[in-house]
Amino acid sequence: MNNKKCYITTPIYYPNAKPHVGTLYSTLIADVVARWHRLMGEDVRFVTGTDEHGQKIQEKAESLGLAPQAFVDSIVPAFKDMWNKYEISFDTFIRTTDTAHEQAVTAWIKKLQEQGDIYKSTYSGWYCVPCETFVNVGSDPIKNEQGQYLCPTCNRSLKEIEEESYFFRLSAYEDKLLKFYEEHPDFVTPRERLHEVVAFVKAGLKDLSISRKTVSWGIPFPGDPSHTVYVWADALNNYLSAVGYGQTSPEAQAEFAKWWPADVQVMAKDIVRFHAIYWPAFLMAAGLPLPKKLLVHGYVLTGQQKMSKSLGNAYDPGQLAEWYGVEQVRYYLMRQIPISQDGHFDLKDLEERINADLANNLGNLLNRTLTLALNNGLSTVNSPATYEATSAALRERCEEAYRLYWEEMNKGYFHIGLAGLWQFISEVNAYFHAQQPWVLAKKNPELFAEVIAAVCHSLNAIATMLWPIMPSKMTSLLASLGKRLELGTNYEPILRENAWTQSFTLTKQDEPLFVRPETHVLVEEQPVAPVSAPAQPAVPEIGIEDFAKVQLVVGTILSCEPVKGSEKLYKLQVDLGKLGMRQILSGVAQRLKPEDLIGKQEVFVANLKPRKMMGLESHGMMLLADNGEYLRPIVVDGKIDNGSTVK
């Protein structure tokens, strides 16, 4: 055991829908970090949970005719079950509706009130319900076709609000924050993300509204129960309340003293501002130390878009686990997506990685070694006193592989660490082939035993290093070598020193470690009902003769490019079959990418009078489905003649 402690957190997720691959990704990173530190014999506390208050949850529950508490109670088990399925080794699952959490938030606000950090005023401006954020629309707001303001983060409609509110004196912390960033350049990892934060703070911080008068689903604001605590002020405190903050018992106070400050806080880039600006300021105000590191990752993308429940492009991790196995998916996510960038989630890549990396490279190596050794009567493998040159070289590579892996894992660059480790696995395979142990078994049993010992030592180190990524698979790999991880042991010096002096007891595997997956195709899940679809204006009824005046035809979009000088417009060239080629302008550039449209067969209004926009003629109009949150082309199946009438 080493004497260090390590406190790791994930964001607490909104239980407005079930977990998806994006939320799994964050939680998995935190799990790998937690297991990595456990492997070093540290005392680890890993917290995840759900963010259950606020307007978004209140509106979603109302839309389903449920009380908010009943609604969140119905969703939270899906998170716990999914994390258990994916072997997420959390120690605490915090819910912001837990009494202890509510007490902690109340204690924190009272402290701020006492020291004059909170005052009452009026908030007047824009609010994004899906992001639960007050938005400064600035001088160049993003608008949709109906002129509604859109959220710069999620692109959905903003609501205008004007209400009495309690404010936190965030502006008073501007200089202290800047000084903190300067003194702690690794507070945010990767560092580039810190530059964005510094720029934001330097542009000037406004005081932050931390209460809502028109939202009833929240913690009552201390001293004024006609307000509730703003959901982010409530949620960020989970990191404190989960380890005993706000409780008076000596046990809780000792717990808090032991764990706080957090060592690693994992999140995606969408919520860095909350964690790197508001959160440290809240802690400074409470007189508490600041977290040591925010580990910020990019988005898991489907196509070009962030994978998200409300966009309807989120994949169910339960389905993936069924098709491919939990640990294969864990490996793929950690190996494929660079932590510092957005990464594409793609089934073909996933299948390829399972085949090439897991089944071929690692699984076969284990299988061939065990089969060959056991078939030649070698079940107890002892290390030789000295190794031949080639085996000694492999041992050096094993040490080096560990050093590189250790460095990258500590930095949070898991994909680089794994790429390096797979390079080593390939080298162990190459060594195995070059030594031809199947020939040695008969000709030179001593050297045969040495080669098997060298491969077993390599596999032992590989499985130990990979345990945080694939805990069950690596436990069974180790078991087939007669080994077991002893948690509480510090494996850092063991791996570093890499003494190839152990003996192994080999056992035949009941089944191969990894099997080649079948090919699957993902069908997108149905999007959840929009959380805040704007009310549709009443549309007067029309007769069939009115409808007949509209000429709807099928056409193929041959090209789509942005119109210079316009943020909104695309210029499309459309093949309308017998009606000819048309240039049609469409104001969807902020909501759709050209690749969403190019090559698609779509429905167009063909008899719209031509009109000029930005000096360009537009003759016709493209039809799109808009639910207020996302826009989709009405795609025809591609097999209808262009120019066909739609009626």
Binding interface with ligand ME8 (CB under 6 A): 11-14, 22-23, 25-26, 51, 235-236, 238, 267-268, 270-271, 299-300, 306-308
Angle (deg, nearest 10), helices 191-202 and 174-183: 160
Tell me, what amino acid is at 559? S
User: Which of 480/532 has CB closer to ligand ME8?
Assistant: 532
User: Rounded distance, CA 252 to CA 243, Å?
Assistant: 7
User: Which of 19/437 has CB closer to ligand ME8?
Assistant: 19
Indicate the helix (H) or strand (E) that contains 180: helix 174-183
Helices (H) and strands (E) in the chain, counts: 23, 28
The minimum distance between CB 580 and ligand ME8, in angstroms, equals 42
The minimum distance between CB 237 and ligand ME8, in angstroms, equals 8
The minimum distance between CB 569 and ligand ME8, in angstroms, equals 28
- The answer to whether 48 and 33 have CB atoms below 8 angstroms apart is no
User: Which of 97/460 has CB closer to ligand ME8?
Assistant: 97
Half-sphere exposure of residue 160, counting CA atoms within 13 Å on the CB side?
A: 2
User: Which of 26/97 has CB closer to ligand ME8?
Assistant: 26
Tell me, what amino acid is at 356? A
Compute and round to an integer the Cα radius of gyration of the chain: 29
Half-sphere exposure of residue 136, counting CA atoms within 13 Å on the CB side?
A: 10
The minimum distance between CB 285 and ligand ME8, in angstroms, equals 17
The minimum distance between CB 129 and ligand ME8, in angstroms, equals 12
Work out the number of other CB atoms within 10 angstroms of the CB of residue 524: 11
Half-sphere exposure of residue 363, counting CA atoms within 13 Å on the CB side?
A: 18
User: Which of 264/271 has CB closer to ligand ME8?
Assistant: 271
The minimum distance between CB 241 and ligand ME8, in angstroms, equals 11
Q: Which residue is it, tokens 């990767």?
A: 190
The minimum distance between CB 598 and ligand ME8, in angstroms, equals 24
Dihedral angle at the C-alpha atoms of 262, 264, 267, 271, nearest 10 degrees? Answer: 50
Angle at 240 between CA 238 and CA 242, to 5 degrees: 65
- Examine residue 141 and say whether the peptide bond preceding it is cis (omega within 30 degrees of 0): no
User: Which of 299/405 has CB closer to ligand ME8?
Assistant: 299
The minimum distance between CB 117 and ligand ME8, in angstroms, equals 20
User: Which of 145/270 has CB closer to ligand ME8?
Assistant: 270
- The answer to whether 22 and 324 have CB atoms below 8 angstroms apart is no
Tell me the two tokens of residue 430: 């190459």
The minimum distance between CB 274 and ligand ME8, in angstroms, equals 7
User: Rounded distance, CA 588 to CA 78, Å?
Assistant: 36
The minimum distance between CB 17 and ligand ME8, in angstroms, equals 8
User: Which of 85/95 has CB closer to ligand ME8?
Assistant: 95
Work out the number of other CB atoms within 10 angstroms of the CB of residue 92: 14
The minimum distance between CB 207 and ligand ME8, in angstroms, equals 20
Tell me the two tokens of residue 222: 């201390």
First-to-last C-alpha distance (Å) of the chain? 74
User: Which of 6/307 has CB closer to ligand ME8?
Assistant: 307
Tell me the two tokens of residue 641: 């003649």
User: Which of 49/471 has CB closer to ligand ME8?
Assistant: 49
The minimum distance between CB 53 and ligand ME8, in angstroms, equals 10
User: Which of 132/596 has CB closer to ligand ME8?
Assistant: 132
User: Which of 23/618 has CB closer to ligand ME8?
Assistant: 23
Angle at 584 between CA 578 and CA 586, to 5 degrees: 140
Tell me, what amino acid is at 229? V
User: Which of 302/369 has CB closer to ligand ME8?
Assistant: 302
49, 79, 153, 501 from 27: Cα distances, Å: 10, 11, 22, 37
User: Rounded distance, CA 307 to CA 317, Å?
Assistant: 12
Q: Which residue is nearest to ligand ME8 (CB)?
A: 22
Reduced DSSP (H G I as helix, E B as strand, rest coil) percent helix, strand, coil of the chain, to 5: 45, 20, 35
User: Which of 23/144 has CB closer to ligand ME8?
Assistant: 23
With CA atoms as reference, report the closest residue to 37 among 259, 194, 326: 259
User: Rounded distance, CA 395 to CA 393, Å?
Assistant: 5
β-bridge pairing 570-575 and 552-562: antiparallel
Tell me, what amino acid is at 295? L
The minimum distance between CB 302 and ligand ME8, in angstroms, equals 8
User: Which of 7/405 has CB closer to ligand ME8?
Assistant: 7
**In the chain, what's the furthest Cα-to-Cα distance?**
95
User: Which of 340/391 has CB closer to ligand ME8?
Assistant: 340
The minimum distance between CB 108 and ligand ME8, in angstroms, equals 14
User: Rounded distance, CA 320 to CA 346, Å?
Assistant: 11
User: Rounded distance, CA 152 to CA 303, Å?
Assistant: 20
The minimum distance between CB 532 and ligand ME8, in angstroms, equals 14
